[in-house]
Structure 1
């Protein structure tokens, strides 16, 4: 079983990115399990003085979650042409750890307009030594949709199939990376 952690860069209750990840978790192939990490908003602001024995519990949970996962999926909005502070803060907690080193990661998108954040997030994650899955990204346009509309869009057979195929491709990528690390 391939274990994947999904992280939303949005803290909004009605987040399109979080809705996309929840739907993705519900539409994975049988040989994969996607767990949605929900602690980004509870992470304290990163401070290098609080690492090691002083690592706050929620940061330690994030680090352990990423460490044990076979891969990471991120869906992130764009704020002012950049990555939201909460998402960047979560990544900062991983910088001096081995959790990200060689870890396969895939970016998925709930808006076609987040081009600057996509590029910035990919650059940060590559710098941290995540191995990005570069296949065409899964993008399901949910921007500006209400909860019922999002649910209907995500329930469409074509979108459910797209989600399964994206995770299936990512799982193959994870498998190839696991095999090459031995």
Structure 2
């Protein structure tokens, strides 16, 4: 199963990046990580009828179209979705690449809530885009800091790794197998 990964953090060394890299290490197939930091600010005038989307937008859409499933891993900023990730989703709203595509949303936070506000917002946005959010594949990882190793930039906590493995299993088997 071809996986497209989207990270809500642009930081080179973030706990979100550690979660994403660990999930990709656990994935049993090909994966692409989209460079959403290169996207221009969403502007429908750049994408209207007879317009050619900017190259980074075209690349994101091509990657989304080629993927069998999408993995979104994000921190939570000010109880919400990071702007860069929302911008990427805005570029995908009307293009159709996410329609009926299985999606997992994983948020991580240094706080006990695990990024629950961002997780809920992302899931709602993706459902509005007609993506198949797989509830059993979605996770909120609390207190992420001590669960990662800055040297390897990976998750080292065995329980968290087992949970990521389970999330990926649900994502790759599809929404039909996931409880509502």
- Pick the TM interval, shorter chain: 0.7 to 0.9
Q: 1:10 to 1:56 in 2, by over 3 A?
A: same
1:20-51 CA distances to partner (integer Å, 9 max, x unpaired)? 1111111123xx333222x1111000111111
Structural mapping, 1:8-19, within 5 Å = 8-19=7-18
TM-score normalised over the length of structure 2: 0.83
Q: 1:166 to 1:146 in 2, by over 3 A?
A: closer
Aligned counterparts of 1:97 and 1:152: Cα–Cα separation in 2: 34
Query: Given the alignment, which residue of 15, 30, 35 partners 1:33?
Result: 30
Where does the alignment leave 5 or more consecutive residues of structure 1 unmatched?
A: 178-182
Contact 2:76/2:108, CA 8 A, preserved across alignment: no
Pairwise CA RMSD = 2.5
Contact 1:14/1:147, CA 8 A, preserved across alignment: no
Aligned-partner SS, 2:32: strand
Contact 1:16/1:142, CA 8 A, preserved across alignment: no
Aligned counterparts of 1:151 and 1:142: Cα–Cα separation in 2: 18
Q: 1:159 to 1:79 in 2, by over 3 A?
A: closer
Structural mapping, 1:1-182, within 5 Å = 2-29=1-28, 32-37=29-34, 39-51=35-47, 53-111=51-109, 112-135=113-136, 137-141=138-142, 143-145=144-146, 148-149=149-150, 151=152, 154-173=155-174, 176=176
Where does the alignment leave 5 or more consecutive residues of structure 2 unmatched?
A: none
Contact 2:101/2:132, CA 8 A, preserved across alignment: yes
Q: 1:149 to 1:157 in 2, by over 3 A?
A: same
The offset of 1:157, in angstroms, is 4.2
What is the total number of aligned residue pairs between the two structures?
172
Aligned counterparts of 2:147 and 2:43: Cα–Cα separation in 1: 37
TM-score normalised over the length of structure 1: 0.82
Contact 1:74/1:107, CA 8 A, preserved across alignment: yes
Q: 1:41 to 1:152 in 2, by over 3 A?
A: closer
